[in-house]
Amino acid sequence: MRYQHVCLEAFGYVLPEETVSSSQIETWLAPLYRRLRLPEGRLELMTGIRERRFWPAGMLPSEKSVESAERAIAAANIDKAEIGALVHASVCRDHLEPATACKVHHRLGLGPHCQIYDVSNACLGVLNGMVQVANMIELGQIRAGVVVATESSRQLVETTIAELNRNQSLTREQMKLAIASLTIGSGSVAVVLADRQLSRTQNRLLAGMAGTNTSFHDLCHSGRDEAVADEMQPLMQTDSERLLHAGIDTASQVFGSFLDELGWRSEQIDKTFCHQVGVAHRKLLFKELGLSPEADFSTVEFLGNTGSVAVPITAAIGIERGHLKAGDQVALLGIGSGINVLMLAVDWQRAAAAASSVKLRPHHHEATRQPIAAR
């Protein structure tokens, strides 16, 4: 995938106010920890995640998707009449139908000829949506488009805690299949892509490369699909260790093709934003790809794994904090269960206006609201 006419114009994001530390989750898991004689601090030690965030109970994804998209559009300073596509790309959605994009489109007041639909592909949804919008721009079908996603972790984390405390037959080995579910965090992000002639930033999307190894599709899976986001009680099983190594192996193969497509060497990549799973994953991934960890910006320690939101919201925060400078060659490295990999290259020039909410502080107070399992 090569692009000549597409620019990564702006980001907008929203973060929940409520933070939940890994130590607080272990407090809620006290019955399980006592029964299995697990040491405190295990969760943060294994993942490197200090905390993650929760939206208020009952909140639908569309509510925050509208806010993130408004922020991104304002930062891009693009007339809404120019937006020809809206893709809602998170795992979480309001209902099975209609598409969550319908409500977001209505609330944003976008035009009647704007293409709208949902895309869901685990942690790659937003990057997939960006490619689809970029293709439309490159073909001259539209001048600008928005990809937006809102992931909500409360239901999954609370349901997992309840099940771990309820099931008295669980062993330490079986518990490992639930660890990944306890790392999930919430967030909302939107990305505006624009035709180069419309762009004010000239942050050109250069190329992309996709790859997959579906022989590992069963290493991470949830229960059946359910409607009504605020009433779901999801559970997931993840073979984290096998998924980590299989994902990195697949990413390594795709990365070689990615460099060939660009005509780059790995040392020509100045900055990176990669999927935020855990500290061990990041360390092994960068060693395998031959990239410098100093080139990367990380949010997993204080946001957890935010699924499809992870790469773009990490980029948005990194840009706000000055991680990029004019002329940087940037790689967005997406890895999702399935296993799917998608990598995008951007020639960075300058940031649009800041468009975030919830200022990140060095330290957060722990949440006091108890989950379902503890009430």
Which of 123, 158, 220, 274 is catalytic? The answer is 123
Which of 17, 40, 97, 241 is catalytic? The answer is 97
In contact, 303 and 53? CB cutoff 8 Å: yes
Closest CA to 54 of 20, 92, 24, 21: 20
Maximal C-alpha separation, the chain: 63
Catalytic, 97? Answer yes
* Residue 96 tokens, joined: 């099975």
**In this structure, which amino acid lies at residue 62?**
S
Cα-only R_g, the chain: 20
Q: How far apart are CA 304 and CA 316, in angstroms?
A: 16
Q: Which residue has the tokens 């061990």?
A: 280
In contact, 53 and 19? CB cutoff 8 Å: yes
* Residue 232 tokens, joined: 């779901």
Q: How far apart are CA 190 and CA 41, in angstroms?
A: 34
In sequence order, the 6+-apart residues with CB closer than 8 A to the CB of 220 are: 122, 180, 236, 237, 238, 239, 243, 337
The residues annotated with a catalytic role in the active site are 97, 123
